[in-house]
């Protein structure tokens, strides 16, 4: 089997319809085998507002109560996932939308309550590589949303970056894997205030320096930690960028260890 490309999309790329359609077109043209993992941007938050459901935030972290989980499941596994799949079908990319419960593909454990009770948030414990590879061998392109399950009948909200990273690491035990994090920025920025100032390369040492200088924004820190973790655990390439990352060389940030 050829190298597998895992692409994760999130942020404004999901919220903005024309950016999303442009991404879907580019993704449909990528060589197979490929896997898509998507977050939900702020769409769940907006629907929560319309439904008068409060989203609690403690220390900058979102809490997922039962109602928030319902909304996340509706928005991620329902609306966003099925819209992406139907658009990929139009472009002759035979895709299949999945939550972690489907085919028991991603199992997670409800996060333990320590300082903060995150609610129905799951940390990944198992990736069903065999199931994912079987789909790929049947010429399907899996499209994962950020909902997993605990094997005991409970759905759990799970970080989409972590899903992309965990799938990539697991598949890299048997295949070569490239992991692309695609969002609305050109990559990791040298200067937070200048969207065009992206780094073509970043290694662990640079990262530590930029982090120390507070030159990397808060939201980017867990994403980069995920990336380096994937590289250290067998993933062959990790790249961060916008839709242009599919259009040529050096149009993104390449991470190295």
Q: How far apart are CA 129 and CA 141, in angstroms?
A: 14
3-state secondary structure of 218: coil
Q: Which is nearer to a second copy, 77 or 189 (CB)?
A: 77
Which residues, 6+ apart, have CB-to-CB distance to 238 below 8 Å? 178, 179, 180, 181, 227, 228, 230, 231, 254, 255
Q: Would you tell me which residues interact with a second copy (CB under 8 A)? A: 47, 50-52, 70, 73-79, 81-83, 85-87, 89-90, 94-99, 101-104, 134, 138, 140, 147, 149, 151-155
Q: Provide, rounded to whole angstroms, the least separation between the CB of residue 88 and a second copy.
A: 8
Q: Which is nearer to a second copy, 133 or 230 (CB)?
A: 133
Q: Provide, rounded to whole angstroms, the least separation between the CB of residue 80 and a second copy.
A: 9
Q: Which is nearer to a second copy, 70 or 225 (CB)?
A: 70
Q: Provide, rounded to whole angstroms, the least separation between the CB of residue 97 and a second copy.
A: 5
Angle at which helices 129-137 and 160-171 cross, to 10°: 80
Q: Which is nearer to a second copy, 74 or 237 (CB)?
A: 74
Q: Provide, rounded to whole angstroms, the least separation between the CB of residue 73 and a second copy.
A: 5
Do 121 and 169 meet the contact criterion of CB atoms below 8 Å apart? Answer: no
Kindly compute the dihedral angle of the four CA atoms of residues 125, 130, 131, 135, in this order, to the nearest 10 degrees: 140
């Amino acid at each position: 089997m050829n190298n597998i490309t895992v692409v994760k999309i999130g942020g404004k790329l999901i919220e903005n319809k024309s950016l999303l359609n442009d991404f879907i077109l580019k993704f449909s043209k990528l060589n197979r085998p490929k896997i898509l993992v998507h977050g939900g941007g702020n769409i769940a938050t907006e629907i929560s507002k319309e439904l008068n459901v409060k989203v609690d935030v403690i220390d900058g972290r979102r809490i997922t109560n039962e109602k928030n989980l319902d909304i996340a499941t509706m928005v991620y596994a329902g609306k966003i996932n099925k819209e992406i799949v139907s658009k990929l079908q139009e472009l002759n990319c035979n895709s299949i939308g999945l939550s972690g419960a489907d085919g028991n593909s991603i199992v997670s454990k409800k996060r333990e309550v320590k300082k903060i009770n995150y609610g129905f948030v799951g940390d990944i414990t198992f990736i069903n590589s065999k199931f994912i590879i079987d789909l790929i061998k049947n010429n399907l392109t899996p499209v994962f949303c950020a909902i997993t399950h605990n094997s005991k009948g409970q759905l759990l909200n799970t970080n989409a970056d972590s899903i992309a990273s965990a799938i990539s690491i697991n598949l890299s035990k048997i295949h070569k894997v490239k992991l692309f994090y695609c969002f609305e920025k050109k990559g990791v920025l040298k200067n937070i205030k200048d969207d065009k100032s992206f780094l073509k390369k970043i290694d662990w040492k640079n990262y530590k320096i930029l982090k120390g200088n507070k030159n990397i924004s808060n939201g980017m820190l867990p994403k980069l930690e995920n990336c380096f973790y994937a590289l250290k655990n067998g993933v062959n390439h990790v790249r961060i960028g916008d839709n242009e990352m599919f259009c040529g060389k050096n149009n993104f940030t390449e991470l190295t260890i």
